[in-house]
Amino acid sequence: MTRRYSGGCACGAIRYETSSEPIFENHCQCRECQKRSGTGHGSYLTFPERADVTITGKANTWRVAGDSGNEKIHAFCPTCGTPVYLTQVAMPELIAVHATSLDDPGQFNPQVVTYAIRGHAWDMIDPSLKTFDRMPHG
């Protein structure tokens, strides 16, 4: 049986759905994720093919360069402001959705913590997860 991942923004204006499996699930403690989430980290499921994710509704976007210099394109709802997904200029085939935008956030199964070097002592994350000071490669 194929598992489906679906979700969207808080007001329902933007929705997404896919039957793809995520290739990476992480908590990210970089400063941009902290600022965007309003807490100590962001949590994401990354899917390998943007083309396999159906998105309805029109998102607004803004761009920011990550530590690598690569631009990330963050998509959010223009009505309620909810961050919903992000893509990368250098790897346009990938799409990452915010774990809490899932209809069933229990589908999120974090594998690692990235940018742990920027984490705060008050942002307690499962200590059994593998941590990386930055984004792992390969």
Reported as a single tens digit per residue, the pLDDT across 23-45 is 999 999 988 888 888 898 999 99
Q: Per-residue pLDDT averaged across 114-121, rounded?
A: 91
Q: With 90 as the cut, is the pLDDT of residue 16 above it?
A: yes
103-110: long-range contacts, CB 8 A cutoff, minimum separation 24: 103/6, 103/7, 103/8, 107/3, 107/5, 107/45, 108/25, 108/43, 108/45, 109/25, 110/25, 110/26, 110/27, 110/43
Parallel, antiparallel or unpaired: strands 95-98 and 42-47: antiparallel
How confident is the model at residue 37, as a pLDDT? 85
d(CA 13, CA 136): 34
What would the mean pLDDT of 55-77 be, rounded to a whole number? 89
**CATH, domain range 10-131:** 3.90.1590.10
Which band of pLDDT confidence, cut at 50, 70 and 90, is reported for residue 13? very high
Residue 16 structure tokens: 């997404």
Q: How confident is the model at residue 67 (pLDDT cuts 50, 70, 90)?
A: low
Cβ distance 20 to 107 under 8 Å? no
Mean pLDDT of the chain: 92
Is residue 68 over pLDDT 80? no
The span from the CA of 92 to the CA of 63, in Å, is: 13
